[in-house]
Amino acid sequence: MRSVLPVGSLAIVEPTPAAQVEVGDVITFTDPYVPGKLVTHRVVQIVPRAGKPLAYRTKGDANPAVDPWAVELPGEVGRLAFQVPYVGYALVYMRTVEVRTTLIGLVGAFLLFGMLRWIWRRPVSSPLGKPV
């Protein structure tokens, strides 16, 4: 199956009932091993289980093997609506200290430059009301 979501892309998902998820859908779910971490992978198999909800086998498009888990999905799951290439890389880098420091420095320099320019261009008036 061809990769729809290249590494570094930003995935935009829409809420979808778990019962509507099919093989081939790209879904976002909570990592079964790391609580709070979201994973976006493709469904490769739906596993029926006796007396239990369906389980879903998934695989990342860039991964050579199927994931070691079969996940039970809650009532709703995020299904890929569209993706924006390379934006994911930018969002990851925005979380680094170096990039945040640089952005804060640039905003500060811009504000300082604007304030100094406003101060230096403001006409100065004498006590008699005439410009000096």
pLDDT averaged per 10 residues in sequence order, the chain, 132 residues: 77 93 94 91 92 91 90 90 90 89 95 92 66 56
> What proportion of the chain, given as a percentage, has pLDDT over 90?
56
- Predicted local confidence at residue 92, as pLDDT: 87
Handedness of CA 51, 32, 14, 61 (dihedral sign): negative
- E strands of the chain, at which residues? 10-17, 26-30, 38-49, 52-59, 70-71, 76-84
- Token pair 């890389």 is found at 89
